[in-house]
């Protein structure tokens, strides 16, 4: 199918899903180019309807027949409709988790799925994303490079064609390249910035475009964009300035996006975890932070990665690293409340406290 038709389907699906969903019954839509026969439960629409005409036709059909099994748009294709059967704090919500194949991202996706979300695992590691998605009910995997605009646009398009909309974006993908001013290369500095800072901007740009379509058809509903930031976005990090700078910048983006998107009922917040000392970002034997920080001399006197680990555990009043469940609980709070936006929420075990 041509790219233009897919773009048209991706723009229409959020409108249809929004019109067919209620507070008590959410639905998902899946786009396919073939026609289907559903008898009385097939809603047929003309192409290029105005918002007003589309709303009127969908509501009239639902009032007379209930939610259709499918919606066919002449000259475009068919959107089979699936009522949500999930329960939980995020029941029926469609959530994208970038960097979701491993680490914090996988843990976050797992807990969101357990609370009823339909999760999109977005990651450059396509095989890892597929493996993770296979563990969750109703999840899909999409290969995505958050620093590449075309890849991000494709991620949002594939999500909408698979589910019909986006309710929550968790911008989790991030990388670290530690080093002193003498050691840091321009290439590594720009790589960290591209993934952690520019990637957040691109994901917000294209996810919010979908959410704005949904807002047009249900102005009272709320949507969430959540950046997984870091305690390093709250306080500087010695010999880790590329990462800390990208995270400080991420909080600036969060506050600015929150102001711009509030009129569309899109809440934008950041969750700032402490160190996931048990996760692969820290423990990978070749590129993990324990090894990087040992080699960069961030911990005076440390001779082994165990010395580095003990040093970072000792900095936390609750005496352990942050875990995915700790972050997921902050995400649930953000999604459930309707009167908070533009915030940076610490989840650090007391290592960083608000002043």
Q: Which structure tokens are listed for 35? A: 């026609």
Total Cβ atoms within 10 A of residue 260: 12
C-alpha span between 319 and 310 (Å, rounded): 10
CB 234 within 8 A of CB 243: no
**Any alpha helices (H) in 66-193, and if so which ranges?**
103-114, 126-133, 149-163, 186-193
Is residue 5 within 8 Å of residue 156, measured between CB atoms? no
Q: Measure the CA–CA gap between 284 and 128, rounded to whole angstroms.
A: 16
What does the alpha-carbon distance between residue 307 and residue 311 come to, in Å, rounded to a whole number?
6
Name the helix (H) or strand (E) containing 78.
strand 77-83
Round to the nearest angstrom and report the end-to-end CA distance of the chain: 55
Q: Catalytic residue, from 223, 243, 276, 293: name it.
A: 243
Q: Give the Cα separation of 35 and 232 in Å (integer).
A: 52
DSSP secondary structure letters along 112-148: HHHTT-EEEEEES-HHHHHHHHTTSTT-EEEE--TT-
Q: Is 243 a catalytic residue?
A: yes
Using CA atoms, how far apart are residues 122 and 171, in angstroms rounded to an integer?
10
User: 193: which 2 tokens?
Assistant: 């910035």
Residues with active-site annotation: 243
């Amino acid at each position: 199918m041509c790219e233009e038709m897919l773009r048209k389907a991706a723009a229409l699906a959020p409108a249809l899903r929004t019109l067919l969903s209620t507070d008590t019954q959410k639905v998902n839509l899946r786009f396919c180019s073939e026609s289907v026969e559903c008898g009385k439960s097939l809603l047929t629409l003309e192409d290029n309807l105005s918002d007003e005409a589309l709303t009127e036709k969908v509501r009239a059909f639902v009032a007379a027949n209930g939610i259709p099994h499918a919606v066919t748009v002449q000259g475009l294709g068919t959107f089979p409709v699936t009522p949500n059967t999930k329960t939980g704090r995020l029941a029926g919500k469609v959530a994208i988790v970038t960097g979701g194949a491993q680490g914090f991202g996988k843990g976050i996706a797992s807990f969101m799925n357990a609370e009823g979300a339909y999760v999109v695992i977005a990651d450059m590691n396509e095989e890892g994303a597929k493996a993770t998605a296979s563990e969750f009910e109703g999840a899909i995997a999409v290969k995505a490079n958050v620093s590449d605009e075309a890849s991000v646009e494709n991620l949002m398009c594939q999500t909408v064609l698979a589910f019909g909309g986006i309710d929550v974006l968790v911008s989790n993908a991030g990388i670290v390249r530690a080093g002193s001013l003498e050691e840091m290369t321009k290439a590594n500095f720009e790589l960290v910035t591209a993934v952690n800072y520019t990637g957040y901007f691109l994901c917000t740009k294209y996810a919010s475009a979908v959410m704005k379509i949904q807002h047009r058809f249900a102005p009272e509903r709320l949507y969430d964009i959540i950046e997984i930031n870091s305690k390093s976005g709250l306080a500087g990090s010695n010999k880790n300035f590329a990462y800390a700078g990208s995270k400080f910048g991420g909080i600036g983006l969060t506050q600015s996006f929150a102001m711009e998107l509030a009129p569309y009922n899109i809440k934008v917040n950041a969750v700032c975890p402490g160190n996931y000392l048990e996760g692969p970002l820290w423990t990978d034997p070749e590129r993990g932070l324990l090894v990087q920080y040992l080699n960069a001399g961030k911990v005076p006197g440390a001779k082994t990665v165990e010395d580095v680990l003990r040093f970072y555990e000792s900095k936390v009043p609750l005496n352990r690293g942050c875990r995915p469940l700790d972050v997921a609980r902050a995400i649930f709070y953000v999604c459930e409340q309707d009167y908070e936006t533009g915030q940076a929420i610490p989840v650090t075990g007391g290592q960083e406290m608000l002043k």
